[in-house]
Amino acid sequence: MGERRLVVRFESKRQRQYRQVTERPFPAEWRRILAMSWAGWHSLTLDERSRLEPMIQEFVASKRWEAAQGFQVVEEMIVLIAAQACLLVLELPADYYRGVGSIIVHPTTMVIDGPRVTDNSGVFQSGPFPIQGQAQYEGPVVVAWDAVRREARYPEYGNNVVFHEFAHKLDMLDGTVDGMPPLPDSASRQQWIDVCTCEYEALKDETSGPLIREYGAVNPGEFFAVVSEIFFCRPVEMRAEKPELYAVLAGFYRQNPAARVAGE
């Protein structure tokens, strides 16, 4: 008769926290936070909310949440950032945020040093530079909480630091920041190149119109992040003014936020 061996596996603190968050029902307090703090929550259908909620729980549990400068990260911050980040990948593969290990929350605008291109001239300028967010390749996403809170409530301005920085993370999936996220086939990639190059050049030439802000002309990576903000914040305007650009973004994200916002 063979010897029986008892194997005991202990959960780490992180594993236990992950299980506790993902196995419980979506907290009513989180819904209250989203209803009070995020204008976009009210545009989502019941089906979209029901699919987004477990994604938020998984995201909250699987990422490290850190505060900077003696700041304290509280539940409202975590839930609001996670919900908006998850909206971008609502219809995309579940592992698209595999390159996001941690989110660092600053209380307000940060200042960085070093040479940086800040406009469509292509000229590097010396710092310091104020920023509201940053996405690092194989590193954390950094956001300023005051910008997160303000932009979640007022999407009509077309700015959203969470959408912007997490769009960068999607762009980084293939190892380069070139303004082209993962696309399914060569036809989609060619259409993306044709449409985005045309709009990017128009923005650089200052013939694009007022919808897309100038910062998108810094490089193709910033262009993708900026137009992703507009796609989710002002989709009705983008569909009307930039229908081809709207179409390629809708093709990538597999969403139609203009129809969602307009109640179509």
248-260 pLDDT, tens digit each: 999 999 999 999 9
Which stretches of 5-137 are DSSP H helices? 13-23, 28-37, 46-62, 75-88
Q: Is there a domain that residue 61 lies in?
A: yes
Count of domains for the chain: 1
Would you state the pLDDT for residue 5?
A: 61
Rounded-to-integer distance, Cα 99 and Cα 94, Å: 12
- Asked whether the predicted pLDDT for residue 140 surpasses 70, the reply is yes
Report yes or no on 46 lying in a domain. yes
- CATH number, domain with residue 153: 3.40.390.10
Residue 3 lies in a domain: no
Query: Is 174 within a domain?
Result: yes
7 belongs to a structural domain = no
Q: What is the pLDDT of residue 130?
A: 87
Residue range(s) defining the domain that contains residue 135: 13-262
Select from 133, 136, 116, 134 the least CA-distant residue to 125. Answer: 116
pLDDT tens digits for range 195-236: 999 999 999 999 999 999 999 999 999 999 999 999 999 999
Neighbours of 217 (CB within 10 A): 24
pTM: 0.89
23 is a domain residue: yes
What confidence score (pLDDT) does residue 182 get?
Answer: 96
Question: Is residue 4 situated within a structural domain?
Answer: no
Q: Is residue 5 part of a domain?
A: no
Mean pLDDT for the chain? Answer: 90
